[in-house]
C-alpha cells in the first residue's frame, strides 16, 4: 500500500495529514474551516484516495496559515506516498461542470513544481474561508508535491461552484495520475527517473 503521514508544528499551525493512495475508505477532515473541509473531502473522494487531515491553526487571525500549511503538508505526504512513482500514469486531466461553471485541471506528477492558475472569484469569503486562499493552497500543494498543475475556471458565476469545480477536477485528475497502470514498465518517463 502506498501510504504516508506527517505532523508539522509551527508557531502558527499544528497539522497532521495521512494518506493512503490504495485504499479510499478512510476520509476524515477537520481543519476548523468548514468550507475548506468540504473542499478537501471532495478532493479525496474524487481522487479516490484515503485522507485524514487534522489542523489546529491560528484561526483567530484568519484562515491563511491553516489553509496554506495544509497545502504544504498534503503535498509532502502525497509525494512521499508516491515513492519511486513506478508504473503510475503520471498525467491526469479533468473537466468538471458545476451548474453554470466549468472547471478544468491538467496535471503532471513530474517532479517539476509549477502552478498555472486562472480563476477569479467575486465573493471574497465563503464562511470563514477567504477565497484568495484557493490559489495559495494550490501553490503550496503543487510545490511540495512536485506536481506541474494547471487549474482554470473556463467560465462561471457562483464562487462556491467555481472553487468546488477546481477541487473536484484536481481530485479527478489526481485519481488518473496516481493510478498504477500495469502497461507501464518502470517510471513513465524516457528519462527513467522522476524525482
Ligand atoms: Mn458545495
- Give me the chain's average pLDDT, please: 97
How many angstroms is it from 119 CA to the middle of ligand 1?
A: 17
The model's pTM: 0.97
CA 112/CA 148 separation, integer angstroms: 6
How many angstroms is it from 76 CA to the middle of ligand 1?
A: 26
Q: Are 118 and 151 in contact (CB under 8 A)?
A: yes
How many angstroms is it from 131 CA to the middle of ligand 1?
A: 14
Does the structure show a pLDDT above 90 at 195?
no
1: helix, coil or strand? coil
How many angstroms is it from 29 CA to the middle of ligand 1?
A: 15
Q: Are 27 and 149 in contact (CB under 8 A)?
A: no
How many angstroms is it from 41 CA to the middle of ligand 1?
A: 10
How many angstroms is it from 63 CA to the middle of ligand 1?
A: 19
Residues within 5 Å of ion ligand 1, judged at the Cβ atom: 164
How far is CA 176 from its chain centroid?
13
How many angstroms is it from 33 CA to the middle of ligand 1?
A: 14
Q: Are 134 and 123 in contact (CB under 8 A)?
A: no
Query: Of 72, 80, 68, 78, which Cα lies nearest the Cα of 143?
Result: 72
How many angstroms is it from 27 CA to the middle of ligand 1?
A: 17
pLDDT digits (tens, 9 = 90+) for 13-66: 999 999 999 999 999 999 999 999 999 999 999 999 999 999 999 999 999 999
pLDDT digits (tens, 9 = 90+) for 107-148: 999 999 999 999 999 999 999 999 999 999 999 999 999 999
How many angstroms is it from 12 CA to the middle of ligand 1?
A: 28
How many angstroms is it from 164 CA to the middle of ligand 1?
A: 6
Q: Which domains does the chain have, with CATH numbers?
A: 3-178 (3.30.230.40)
How many angstroms is it from 160 CA to the middle of ligand 1?
A: 6
User: Which pLDDT does position 190 carry in this prediction?
Assistant: 86
Q: Classify the phi-psi angles of 127: left when phi > 0, otherwise alpha if psi is within -120 to 50, otherwise beta.
A: left
Amino acid at each position: 500500500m502506498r501510504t504516508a503521514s506527517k505532523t508539522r508544528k509551527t508557531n502558527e499551525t499544528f497539522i497532521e495529514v495521512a494518506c493512503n493512495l490504495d485504499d479510499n475508505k478512510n476520509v476524515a477532515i477537520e481543519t476548523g474551516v468548514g468550507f475548506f473541509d468540504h473542499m478537501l473531502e471532495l478532493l479525496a473522494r474524487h481522487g479516490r484516495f484515503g485522507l485524514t487531515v487534522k489542523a489546529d491553526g491560528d484561526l483567530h487571525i484568519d484562515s491563511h496559515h491553516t489553509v496554506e500549511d495544509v497545502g504544504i503538508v498534503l503535498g509532502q505526504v502525497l509525494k512521499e506516498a508516491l515513492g519511486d512513482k513506478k508504473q503510475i500514469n503520471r498525467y491526469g486531466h479533468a473537466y468538471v461542470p458545476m451548474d453554470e461553471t466549468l472547471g478544468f485541471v491538467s496535471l503532471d506528477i513530474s517532479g517539476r513544481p509549477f502552478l498555472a492558475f486562472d480563476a477569479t472569484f467575486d465573493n471574497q469569503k465563503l464562511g470563514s474561508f477567504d477565497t484568495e486562499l484557493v490559489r495559495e493552497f494550490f501553490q503550496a500543494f503543487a510545490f511540495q508535491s512536485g506536481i506541474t498543475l494547471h487549474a482554470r475556471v473556463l467560465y462561471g458565476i457562483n464562487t462556491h461552484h467555481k472553487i468546488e469545480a477546481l477541487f473536484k477536477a484536481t481530485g479527478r485528475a489526481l485519481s488518473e495520475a496516481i493510478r498504477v497502470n500495469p502497461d507501464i514498465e518502470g517510471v513513465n518517463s524516457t528519462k527513467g527517473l522522476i524525482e
